[in-house]
A and B are shown apart, each in its own frame.
Chain A
Amino acid sequence: VNQQRQITNFFSPS
């Protein structure tokens, strides 16, 4: 099953 990732898994608060 493909799990939907979130943007915050890739980009961090600047």
Chain B
Amino acid sequence: MLELRLVQGSLLKKVLESIKDLVNDANFDCSATGFSLQAMDSSHVALVSLLLRSEGFEHYRCDKNFSMGMNLGNMSKMLKCAGNDDIITIKGDDGGDTITFMFESPSQDKIADFEMKLMDIDSEHLGIPEAEYHAIVRMPSAEFARICKDLSSIGDTVIISVTKEGVKFSTKGDIGTANIVCRQNTTVDKPEEATIIEMQEPVSLTFALRYMNSFTKASPLSNTVTISLSSELPVVVEYKIAEMGYIRYYLAPKIED
């Protein structure tokens, strides 16, 4: 059986908001390591990998490894019924056909339980090979979200180029073109406001902005985002979830034929 208790229930609400538009149905994997998920979008262009480590929960019990198939839209509907300050407890059984979400108000004067039907989902687990990335950019997540939103009003794709000058986000569309360059900037008041560029060699890749915009729904989870790029490899857009783990999005590039 699985039993997990998360005092900061809002984290789980935010996690759902950051994946439900990308993936409809997914298997959550429960193990001693934690509560995790790996799923592709329906076009198999993007992949999301989520890990919430067991140590991050106030209480975590998982007797054996098993998976629970969930419709993420339905799960989001249920979690939206939890208050932002609520403590969330999840209970499920190996082979069970439902999962229970319990929401407790901080003062314990309101306790709700919601039972959601599970589903059988055939999904392939993909092996994600360790890769040496040509460039790793860390920047404020709000800044990255703003750039993706702004560029998507001009074009459908973004070219992300990292050179010694900085990281450049470019697009073009029917009405014109746009280029936004962010330079390394470590002279900021708070470390989370810094832009840090580690470049082994210059890299330039093209991606669909629709997916990038979807990834930025994870911005409330972390003040910073890390973008890892290598030629001819999917980009990794990672948001760390404080004390608990991460949500990583992999997006296949567009490549000239």
Contacts and interface: CB of A to CB of B under 8 A. Distances in A.
Interface of A: 1-14
Contacts of A9: 252
A12 B126 CA distance: 5
B127 A6 contact: no
11 contacts: A3-B256, A5-B252, A5-B254, A6-B45, A6-B252, A7-B126, A7-B234, A7-B252, A8-B40, A10-B252, A14-B126
Contact of B254 (A2, A10, A13): A2
Given A10-B233, A11-B47, A5 B255 contact: yes
Nearest to B256: A2
B254 A4 contact: yes
A7 B254 contact: no
B124 A13 contact: yes
B126 A13 contact: yes
Contacts of B157: 2
B44 A7 contact: yes
Interface in B106-125: 124-125
Contacts of A5: 45, 252-255
A4 B157 CA distance: 11
A7 B255 contact: no
B127 A12 contact: yes
B126 A11 contact: yes
Contacts of A3: 254-257
A2 B255 CA distance: 5
Contacts of A4: 45, 208, 252, 254
Contacts of B206: 2
A13 to B, nearest CB: 5
Contacts of B250: 7, 11
Given A2-B157, A6-B44, A11 B127 contact: yes
A10 B234 contact: yes
Contacts of A12: 126-127
B195 to A, nearest CB: 27
A3 B206 CA distance: 10
Contacts of A13: 124-127
Contacts of A2: 157, 206, 254-256
A14 B40 CA distance: 14
